[in-house]
Amino acid sequence: MELGVQYLFVALVLVGGGMAALSRHVLYNIVGLGISLFGMAGLFLQLGSPFVAAMQLLIYLGGITVAIVFAMMLSIAMTLDPPTRTPVKTGFAAVAALTFGVGLHGLIGTASFAAAPPAPTDAWAVAHIGSALLERYNLVFETLSVVLLLAIIGAILIARPDRRGDAA
Amino acid sequence: MEPLSLILLTTVAPLVAFTLAILFLMRQPRLAQVVVIGGGTLSLAGAALLLFQGPMAPLRYLWFTSGDMALRFGFLFDGISLMFGVAVALITLCVMVYSLGYMGHDPSKTRYFAMLALFEWAMLSFVYAVDLLQSFIFWELVGLASFFLIGFWYERPSATAAAKKAFLMTRVGDVGLFIGVLLVLQVAGHFDIPGLLAADTGLVAQAQPAVLTMITLLIFVGIVGKSAQFPLHTWLPDAMEGPTPVSALLHSATMVAAGVYLMARLHPLFMGSETTLGVILVIASITALLAATMAMVATDIKKVLAYSSISQLGFMLLGLAAGSLFAGVFHLLTHALFKALLFLCSGLFIHHFESNDLAQIGRSGGRRMPFATAGLLVGGAALAGIPPLGGFFSKEEIFAALGHGGVTIYSIVALLAAFLTAYYTFRMIFLVTRPTHMEETAHDHAHGHGRAEPWSMALPVLLLTVGAAIAGFWGGAIARGLGIDAAHHSLASMAPAVLVVIAGVLLAWMDFGRQAAARTGFIARIPAVEKLFSNGWYVDAFYDAVVVRATMLIATILHAVENKLFDGSFDRLGFSVLGIGAGATRLQNGWVQFYAGWTVILIGVAAAYFGMGG
Amino acid sequence: MNLESFLLLSLVLFSLGLFAVLAHRNLIAVLIGVELMMNAASLNLMAFNRFSVTDPVTGQVFVLIIIGLAAAEVAIFLSIILNLYRTRRTIDAEQLTELKG
């Protein structure tokens, strides 16, 4: 049963990823991305972290995917009329991705990863993440908040229409 | 009132004024002026009340901890910060009021006043900072605010270039400072300034001598950039592109003073390393002398003042490095007053005659402006070191500190620089106030209409004139504020300083003051030397020739390598693909995806190679 | 499932994302590829966190920060796309060839 659920999520990730990467229509890409992200959240749950899984659903599936849909609707031209692909370029991209994947697979094969004893279950409690974020990783946390603020301001500045008409 | 509310009044009032002005008052410049000047007044009141209460225990508030490192924000109330805080607030307020008249017709007044408020906030927070990292943050903010103000007239290419130059050159120093600050963390584990300075548990006791030397040298690199010392001094004369009140602010109490202030703040650390002190003495004396020679031949009134600032900053560092905290801080404070005064006076002339040229101002009747002339005389005399004005006593302290262990090369250099200071200062005064009769009549009453000196501009000048005149007598009070006994110097020990000043003034009189004088200066008789001086010893030219060109050369070589080697090989690869007949496009087709693809393939091949155990 | 199978899954997902980035003409589809690659990295970290780290907090924090950065990155990317679309009426990667040599 447990294993079945796991394989279901893996299948979701792979099918969604395939749709997101291979389809020519951008709407299918987005749906694929959503499916893949959902499967990923399930895998996070299986890997023992309900909190990260919930964040994945909230931020990625609920926020980022919706933002992408908005962007698609605001720049509608290519959505209505999917562009054609040249076989040369597709082939080139496939070769590049395959070379990379095979190379990296070889590299993974050479590494050996020491297995650690499973941590006690209470080590996975959300409270630990919270205190780690505010104590040990405080600087990272603060930096990330600054980055997000800058990203918001930057996004507004870039996307805003020039009201004055000059290149400000 | 308790210190917390006072310090918040001092530091936060300008920030609030800045925020209000920049966010809400862009279209109401009059209201923005009121808000900013109100903020400056509150800030001055807060700083003055703090000074009145005297030194207190510092306040510290935890910002956050990360790992073992705790970052604190807080405020330090000792003699240096209290006195300098008042000086900053006072001079900023003078400049703000003065700007009412000077910038009265500028279309973007709000932006100007908002930036002044930002500048004041950054500088005051820097002055009172208790934490070295906090100091660094506000140190950078000071640099940013001065960048905005130097480049205020951004439609002029020269102004934007000067702003960029100022920002980049001080950044060069800041890299050193930042590494120094990080080293402090590495050695001491905290940034708390009183903790670092403590005699028994502080950095001097903790660090290896070599490490301490390294830290102080790195911090000094930051000071060299900020306080425009040789060889990073060339940004300061260019920074004259900003509005004149900004120059007054930049040169007296903020920006360049930040460097000297930091050294005074960390004085015990510097005293712990003989090597660093030696380096500082050499750099500062070179700067003092070099800048003075450049001021001798400058024809632009603001350039003369700019070079004199560089030179006087060298004097301050000389005093600090000679071991006398009092000498450095005293000169910093008196210099802040009379240099702000001189710049504001030059602004009066420039505003009225629309010319920066010394001789031109003199010919057009500069001496008919009573406030400006009085300010120029008092400020100039203080700069030259005429007793009993401010500059005399503070310079005297520096000479005394330098001559402490017998006459050294440094005290001779300092005397020579003081001689040149008196000479160029009175050259400036004579050129403005004593044009020959023949010259003057030609331009009589060309600018007769309108008041020469509106009250908003005359009042700060008057205030600073009084301040510069009496600043010399505050020495005892300042020494008490620092917790040092001011030594009284005998008349005999003052003699050399007085003599060089008199000599300098006399020489200036011979060259520029008398009715029959040639008005060219003795330097002009040696054209080669004059050329050297007026080109700033070719330091900028050196940068152009060596640094910029070396960079360009490296870039050219790399370009050639890329063209011949990488591009060439890829081109050949591309041609061979074409030759095979697959119809592939050229590699340089501009598609980012194509470039990325090749990168990925190469990484994949490399990964596979290592994966095979190759 | 063990660590190796998770790594393999994330590798496949990463390669798919890479293909999307390289092959799609629509910049939005390119962005989707980038997101796939980021998720693959997150999966990797979570897998290592589960199987070969004693303190499981580190990896979770890492993944949370990746999610936060992804949000920032998407905001910027999308605003660039909107700007491009407004100024040039296209978001076709093959028509944006200013880098042409």
Give, as one character, the DSSP assignment of residue B231. Answer: T
Note the pLDDT of residue B597.
80
CB-nearest partner of C97 from B590, B596, B597: B590
Cβ-defined contact of A14 to C12 (cutoff 8 Å): yes
In 3D, which of A129, A75, B51 has the Cα closest to residue C28? A75
B574 pLDDT above the threshold of 70: no
**Picking from B139-143, B165-169, B283-287, which range would have the lowest pLDDT averaged per residue?**
B165-169
Nearest-angstrom CA–CA distance, B103 and B101: 6
Cβ-defined contact of B607 to A104 (cutoff 8 Å): yes
Give, as one character, the DSSP assignment of residue B587. Answer: S
pLDDT in tens, A117-128: 766 767 778 888
For A129, A138, B84, C74, the CA distances from C66, given in Å and listed in that order, are 15, 15, 46, 12
Nearest-angstrom CA–CA distance, B307 and B315: 13
Q: How far does C18 lie from chain A, in Å, by closest CA? A: 6
Chain C residues with CB under 8 Å of A108 CB are 4, 7, 11
Q: CB within 8 A of B373, min separation 6: which ones?
A: B366, B367, B432, B433
Q: What's the token pair of residue C74?
A: 């998407």
Q: What's the token pair of residue B580?
A: 């095979």
The chain-wide mean pLDDT, for chain B, equals 80
Q: Please say whether the beta carbons of B461 and B375 come within 8 A.
A: yes
Q: What's the token pair of residue B303?
A: 């350039």
Mean pLDDT of A17-40: 91
User: In chain C, which among 6-45 make CB contacts under 8 A with chain A?
Assistant: 6-9, 11-20, 22-26, 28-29, 31-33, 35-36, 39, 42-43
Residue of B nearest to C25 (CA): B593
The chain-wide mean pLDDT, for chain A, equals 84
Chain A residues with CB under 8 Å of B573 CB are none
Chain C residues with CB under 8 Å of A15 CB are none
**Picking from B212-226, B234-248, C1-15, C62-76, which range would have the lowest pLDDT averaged per residue?**
B234-248
Q: Please say whether the beta carbons of B247 and B343 come within 8 A.
A: yes
Q: Where are the domains of chain A?
A: 1-83, 125-168
Query: Domain A1-83 class?
Result: mainly alpha
What is chain C's length?
101
Query: Nearest 5°: CA angle at B312, between B308 and B315?
Result: 150
pLDDT in tens, A80-119: 667 777 788 888 888 888 888 888 888 888 877 777 776 6
Burial of B22 (0-12, 13-18, 19+ CB in 10 A): middle
For B22, B123, B322, the CA distances from B146, given in Å and listed in that order, are 16, 11, 30
Residue ranges of domains in chain C, CATH in brackets: 3-95 (1.10.287.3510)
Note the helical H segments in B385-454.
Answer: 390-402, 409-433, 437-442
B496 pLDDT above the threshold of 80: no
In 3D, which of A56, A4, A2 has the Cα closest to residue A34? A56
Q: CB within 8 A of A149, min separation 6: which ones?
A: none
Give, as one character, the DSSP assignment of residue B510. Answer: I
Q: How far does A14 lie from chain B, in Å, by closest CA? A: 22
Question: B388 preceded by cis ω (within 30°)?
Answer: yes
The helix or strand, by DSSP H or E, that contains position B457, with its residue range, turns out to be helix B455-470
Q: How far does C100 lie from chain A, in Å, by closest CA? A: 17
B614 pLDDT above the threshold of 70: no
pLDDT in tens, C41-86: 999 999 888 888 778 888 889 999 999 999 999 999 888 888 888 8
> By 3-state DSSP, what share of chain C in percent is helix, strand and coil, each rounded to 5?
80, 0, 20
What ipTM did this prediction achieve?
0.88
Q: Which of B591, B594, B595, B598 to mutate to test the interface with C (most CBs of C within 10 A)?
A: B591
Mean pLDDT of B157-165: 84
> Does any CB of chain A come closer than 8 Å to the CB of residue B63?
no
Higher-pLDDT residue of B548 and B381 is B381
Cβ-defined contact of B584 to A104 (cutoff 8 Å): no
Chain B residues with CB under 8 Å of A103 CB are 603-609, 611
B442 pLDDT above the threshold of 70: no
User: In chain A, which among 64-93 make CB contacts under 8 A with chain B?
Assistant: 88-89, 92-93
- The count of CB pairs under 8 A between chains A and B is 69
Burial of B122 (0-12, 13-18, 19+ CB in 10 A): buried
B53 pLDDT above the threshold of 60: yes
Note the pLDDT of residue B449.
44
Note the pLDDT of residue C19.
92
Nearest-angstrom CA–CA distance, B121 and B7: 12
Cβ-defined contact of C100 to B588 (cutoff 8 Å): yes
Mean pLDDT of B550-564: 73
Q: CB within 8 A of A97, min separation 6: which ones?
A: B600, C15, C16, C18, C19, C22
Q: What's the token pair of residue A93?
A: 């991209």
Q: Which of C11, C15, C24, C97 to mutate to test the interface with B (most CBs of B within 10 A)?
A: C97
DSSP per residue over C49-62, as a string?
Answer: HHHS-S-THHHHHH
B515 pLDDT above the threshold of 80: no
CB-nearest partner of B596 from C22, C94, C100: C22
pLDDT in tens, B343-399: 888 888 888 877 778 777 777 777 777 788 888 888 888 888 887 777 788 888 888
C101 pLDDT above the threshold of 50: no
What is chain B's length?
614
Note the pLDDT of residue B492.
63
Residue of C nearest to B596 (CA): C22
Note the pLDDT of residue B406.
63
Chain A residues with CB under 8 Å of C3 CB are 113, 115
CB-nearest partner of A137 from C9, C61, C91: C61
Q: How far does C84 lie from chain B, in Å, by closest CA? A: 15
Taking the CA atoms of B349, B355, B361 and B364 in sequence, report the sign of the dihedral they define.
negative
pLDDT in tens, B404-439: 766 678 888 888 888 888 888 888 888 887 776 555
Q: What's the token pair of residue B492?
A: 């005999």
The helix or strand, by DSSP H or E, that contains position A1, with its residue range, turns out to be none
CB-nearest partner of C100 from B589, B593, B596: B589
The helix or strand, by DSSP H or E, that contains position B75, with its residue range, turns out to be strand B69-75
Note the pLDDT of residue C72.
92
Note the helical H segments in B227-299.
Answer: 235-238, 244-252, 256-265, 267-271, 274-297
Q: How far does A135 lie from chain C, in Å, by closest CA? A: 12
Nearest-angstrom CA–CA distance, B22 and B32: 9
